[in-house]
Amino acid sequence: MKKKFLILLSLLAIISDITAQEVKNEKKFFSSQISTGIVEGEQNTSLHVELLNGLRYKTWFAGIGTGIDYYYYRTIPVYLSGIKYLSPRNHSFFVQGDAGVNFVWEEDRMNNRNEISHEFKPGLYWNGIVGFATGLDRKNAFSFGLGYSQKSFQEIKEMAVWCFNPPCENTFETYKYNLKRLTLRIGWQFNYSR
Amino acid sequence: MRKIILLPFLVIMIFALQSCLKDKITRTYSVFEPIYKSKAEVQAEIKSSTAVSISNPGKIYMYGNYIFLNEVNKGVHIIDNSNPASPVIKSFINIPGNIDIAVKGSALYADLFTDLVVVDISDPLNATLKKVVPKIFPERVYAPGFVPDSTKVIVGWTERKIRENVDQPPVGGGWITGDRFALLSSSQSGTGTSGGAAAVTGIAGSMSRFSIVNNYLYAVNNTSIKTLDISAVNDPQLKNTIGVGWNIETIYPFKNKLFIGSSNGMFIFDISNPAAPAREGSVSHFRACDPVVADDTYAFVTLRAGTFCQGTNNQLDVINVQNVMSPQLVKTYGLTNPHGLAKDGDLLFICDGSDGLKVYNKSNVFSLQLLDRVKNIHTYDVIAWNNRLLVVAKGGLYQYNYSNPSSLSLISKLTVNN
């Protein structure tokens, strides 16, 4: 999982570098955004970091993003994102919607002694944000946003039973997580010409 | 104007979302409700039925050209092994709660929860119940809080999926039980018995809790050895109950000794007086599950950690038993998840769980030499006899030729059919 994530980040960074040129009042251009912030939910307050790359056309943006989300379980969301800027000008409110898949990047943890193994399965990830972006110059913009996000995943635990005479079959428990959070995000946006 | 409208919208949305911040975590697990039958009904059904496929193989017992294979908690498969390359399941004897088996002459001894049953198998296709010796074994212990109806017999379990919301998932799960239900696997067992090795009556795997030596059947339960006189094979008589300790697991006979494996150590009993085994030496080890095989000089004990065997070590202990009053641990070897084991001359065979079957040359116990390893089978117990290995694994019953111990060859396989 870690390796896949790093490869994905590298690819996105390479795409960003290749297309890095000055924006010249174009209606369609490549845009990249790095953002960070906190997610606040029932369990705790956690950090998230995201990288989003895509194409902007007039007041619309469509792209693909990924990141790290530390809320409850460390997860890697991979999602498609759409943004609508409410104004074509440098300073504008925007509405953003993300939807994709959420992978658990497992951390070491303590296991109960009768847990034999466990397996995580990915689940749905979505995020809705309203925010404000302000252009600092032709290719840099600062943004912040508030939103609401859900991430889901499953954990299947194989459990040993109280067994006097083996062989004994283990049993399975399934946990479904649907975690709901408010998100506060600040981001830096880079715009590039094609 | 648009910005003015948007700001209050943002504030409203944030407050509205506060109520939507409750995480939802659901836990789905199984509970099992017992299916009861009366003892009379169950005893009436103890007879040969048509052969059924192997589903959850347990302990094995070899007797002549027959293999008796326990179907955990269900009964016994009778397998005609006249041609090891093509064994044939001849019939199935329905014995609920059965874990352990032993055979002498035409009598099959089996546990039926707390009772010992004797089944006449002179005609395997027409086996009949001969006798029930009640309360030889203690009541089984299931999950905490569940007490079975001891006036009836549990013949099966109905599984129900339970889904519940949880505030916090446990860091690994835990016991799940209710007032009415017990969580346990379909193969959960409680007592059991049987044992053995190369007795004249047949050969049992090392995981066995029954052992027949001459005219006596020795059965261990969690705390004691039961001695039954089986001079009249269809009419066993309980002669003695001898306390051993706690968590007794296996029994292995060698000459006039019984080697008893418990989760805390190994005990040696002398059976010069077969009706009254006399305790000799013992050796303690850390808590683990531990079948044992032995010869005149050494006992080989596999210690298995994890699950409810507790402990953290998986290993083979070699114990010098020349002085039976004071056995001494002489060497330890690391293993993966050892279960049953068997020996034949200088060869030692170890079922190492998911790590397969391992064959060692034990001529020098201080430096065991791995000769071969059968991978990709999850092994449980093994019998070695006359260059032929019977191996019980999750996948079924395997037979190997070990005339060349450095390269076992598969003779046949009876596959588990789930």
Report if pTM > 0.80. no
Query: How many other β-carbons are positioned within 10 Å of the β-carbon of residue B58?
Result: 28
Query: Which positions in chain A have a beta carbon within 8 angstroms of at least one beta carbon in chain B?
Result: 40-43, 72, 86-87, 93, 109-116, 130, 146, 148, 155, 157, 159-182
Put simply, the answer to whether A173 touches B27 (Cβ < 8 Å) is yes
pLDDT in the model for residue B79: 95
Q: What HEC string does chain A produce?
A: CHHHHHHHHHHHHHHHHHCCCCCCCCCEEEEEEEEEEEEEECCCEEEEEEEEEEEEECCEEEEEEEEEECCCCCEEEEEEEEEEECCCCCEEEEEEEEEEEEEECCCCCCCCCCEEEEEEEEEEEEEEEEEEEEECCCCEEEEEEEEEEEEEEEEEEEECCCCCCCCCCCEEEEEEEEEEEEEEEEEEEEEECC
* Listed residue (B95, B107, B136, B127) closest to B235, CA to CA: B107
Residues 6+ positions from A2 with CB-CB distance below 8 Å: A105
Confidence check: pLDDT of B173 > 70: no
pLDDT digits (tens, 9 = 90+) for B113-149: 889 999 999 888 899 999 999 988 877 766 666 778 8
Searching chain A, which residue's CA lies closest to the CA of residue B144?
A162
Instruction: Give φ, ψ of A74 to 5 degrees.
Output: -65, 125
Q: How confident is the model at residue A159 (pLDDT cuts 50, 70, 90)?
A: confident
Put simply, the answer to whether A157 touches B190 (Cβ < 8 Å) is no
Q: How confident is the model at residue B150 (pLDDT cuts 50, 70, 90)?
A: confident
Selected residue of B7, B9, B185, B207 to mutate for chain A interface (largest A Cβ count, 10 A): B185
Q: How confident is the model at residue A94 (pLDDT cuts 50, 70, 90)?
A: very high
Residues of B in contact with A161 (CB under 8 A): 143, 183-185, 188, 308
Mean pLDDT of B7-32: 74
Confidence check: pLDDT of A76 > 60: yes
Put simply, the answer to whether B23 touches A179 (Cβ < 8 Å) is yes
**Which position has the token pair 């193994």?**
A117
User: Is-contact B394 B416, C-beta < 8 A?
Assistant: yes
Q: What HEC string does chain B produce?
A: CHHHHHHHHHHHHHHHHHCCCCCEEEEEEEEEEEEEEEHHHHHHCCEEEECCCCCCEEEEEEECCEEEEEECCCEEEEEECCCCCCCEEEEEEECCCCCCEEEECCEEEEEECCEEEEEECCCHHHCEEEEEECCCCCCCCCCCCCCCCCCEEEEEEEEEEEEEEECCCCCCCCCCECCCCECCCCCCCCCCCECCCCECCEEECCCCEEEEECCEEEEECCCEEEEEECCCCCCCEEEEEEECCCCEEEEEEECCEEEEEECCEEEEEECCCCCCCEEEEEEECCCCECCEEECCCEEEEEEECCHHHCCCCCEEEEEECCCCCCCEEEEEEECCCCCCEEEECCEEEEECECCCEEEEECCCCCCCEEEEEECCCCEEEEEEECCEEEEEECCEEEEEECCCCCCCEEEEEEECCC
Q: Measure the CA–CA gap between B150 and B152, rounded to whole angstroms.
A: 5
Put simply, the answer to whether A173 touches B29 (Cβ < 8 Å) is yes
Hey, is the C-beta of B6 within 8 angstroms of any chain A C-beta?
yes
Distance from CA of B161 to the nearest CA of A (A): 10
pLDDT digits (tens, 9 = 90+) for B337-356: 888 999 999 999 999 988 99
Q: Measure the CA–CA gap between B187 and A164, rounded to whole angstroms.
A: 10
Hey, is the C-beta of B16 within 8 angstroms of any chain A C-beta?
no
Put simply, the answer to whether A110 touches B172 (Cβ < 8 Å) is yes
Task: Tell me which of A21-30, B40-49, B193-202, B263-272 is least confident.
Answer: B193-202
The chain-wide mean pLDDT, for chain B, equals 83
Task: Tell me which of A26-40, A106-120, B76-90, B333-347 is least confident.
Answer: A106-120
CA distances from B231 to B105, B215, B216 (A): 11, 5, 7
Residues of A in contact with B19 (CB under 8 A): none
Confidence check: pLDDT of A99 > 70: yes
Using CB atoms, pick whichever of A86, A170, A175 lies closest to residue B185: A170
CA distances from B299 to B181, B257, B294, B351, B370 (A): 41, 12, 4, 16, 18
